[in-house]
Amino acid sequence: MKRVMLLLVAAIAIAAFCLPMNGCDKARPTSPIDGNRAYAWVKGMVDIGPRPAGTMELKACRDYILGELKKLGLTAKVDSFKSEPHGAGIEFHNIECEIPATNADEKRLLVLGSHYDTKRTHVPGNPNPEMLFVGANDAGSSSGLLIELARHFKANPLPCRLLLTWFDGEESLPWEWDSDKALFGSRRCVQQLVKRFKGGSLKDAVPCMVLLDMVGHKDLAITQDTASNQVLIKLFQQAIDQLSYGSKFFQDKNHMTDDHVPFLNYGVRAIDLIQFGDVTAWWHTGNDTMDLISPESLAIVGHVVSVALPLVAAEFYKKQ
């Protein structure tokens, strides 16, 4: 009898080990996204220090991203531009890396983006202008994860072309939000895509856009952005449910103004993955450091993206 009880206990223990934390009836697949590698890339950026648009520190960050993409065998380019009158004479620089489609005839793009600039602090209105803001979660986490996703999708391309973009100038130049003096890189990206696909509507040439922003918090809680496209939210929810990450996503809702908005304004379906619930303890403060970031959180968000994008491609990039 004792042996039977021991075997029963062992069987229960094995079953519990194999099940996902939320009690679903099958084990979660191993993530193809390396959170430790993404974390190392985040740290490489954060070690540079504050990186506002137009600074040598952001140039160093840009060179770092370009160098890491080159090591991965990926070709990237820089789109440099000024945006007057609101750009305050700053030269902005978007980084772009395009991964070919498995379908050679497919010309349409799926855009996957992140901003890589940090908020400048020495501006009027900031109650703490001497603050050291290194932006580990706000800019670092999504930009480091985007490099890891570039590595993944190079090895596992989609049936559509994937344009990975690191946007410059997302942060508002004044301390208080001013939409005319923010989102410079994403607005520029949309303008350049309109030129590239002249003669047609942008929403036909670029059916979907996915934005990552603030995705590395150790207590991960990705917000459901009510401005995002509802069909994309459903497809991402499908991936979240499939991977049993429900407790980490979409438990709170907020209307976000972020780098996906210029795409939405042109009719492109877009979704913003961002943690924007209770952020007062760290958002735009000196507490946004590497202590806030978890490799596990980066792996979780990356895992969801790696599963969701093929679903998005199947839904919106069917063969024409």
Tell me the average pLDDT across 89-108: 96
Answer whether residue 76 is part of any domain.
yes
Answer whether residue 16 is part of any domain.
no
pLDDT at residue 6 is higher than 80:
no
Task: Please tell me what DSSP assigns to residue 119.
Answer: -
Answer whether residue 249 is part of any domain.
yes
**For residue 199, what pLDDT band results from cuts at 50, 70 and 90?**
confident
| Residue range(s) defining the domain that contains residue 250 | 32-316
CA 268/CA 59 separation, integer angstroms: 30
Answer whether residue 21 is part of any domain.
no
Cα distances from 203 to residues 101, 117, 258, 263, 316, in angstroms, run 18, 27, 18, 9, 11
CA 179/CA 210 separation, integer angstroms: 20
Answer whether residue 307 is part of any domain.
yes
Percent of the chain scored above 70 by pLDDT?
92
pLDDT score of 320: 75
pLDDT in tens, 213-247: 999 999 999 999 999 999 999 999 999 999 999 99
Q: Are 213 and 270 in contact (CB under 8 A)?
A: no
Interior CA angle at 116 toward 114 and 119, to 5°? 120
- What are the structure tokens assigned to 268, written together? 């492109």
pLDDT in tens, 15-52: 443 434 443 435 678 889 999 999 999 999 999 999 99
Answer whether residue 5 is part of any domain.
no
CA 179/CA 171 separation, integer angstroms: 9
CB hemisphere CA count around 291 (13 angstroms)? 6
Answer whether residue 11 is part of any domain.
no
Answer whether residue 13 is part of any domain.
no
Provide the mean pLDDT of the chain: 92
CA 190/CA 186 separation, integer angstroms: 6
pLDDT score of 292: 98
CATH code, 81: 3.40.630.10
pLDDT score of 17: 36
Domain count of the chain? 1
Cα distances from 72 to residues 68, 98, 167, 199, 301, in angstroms, run 6, 13, 20, 35, 21
pLDDT in tens, 269-278: 999 999 999 9
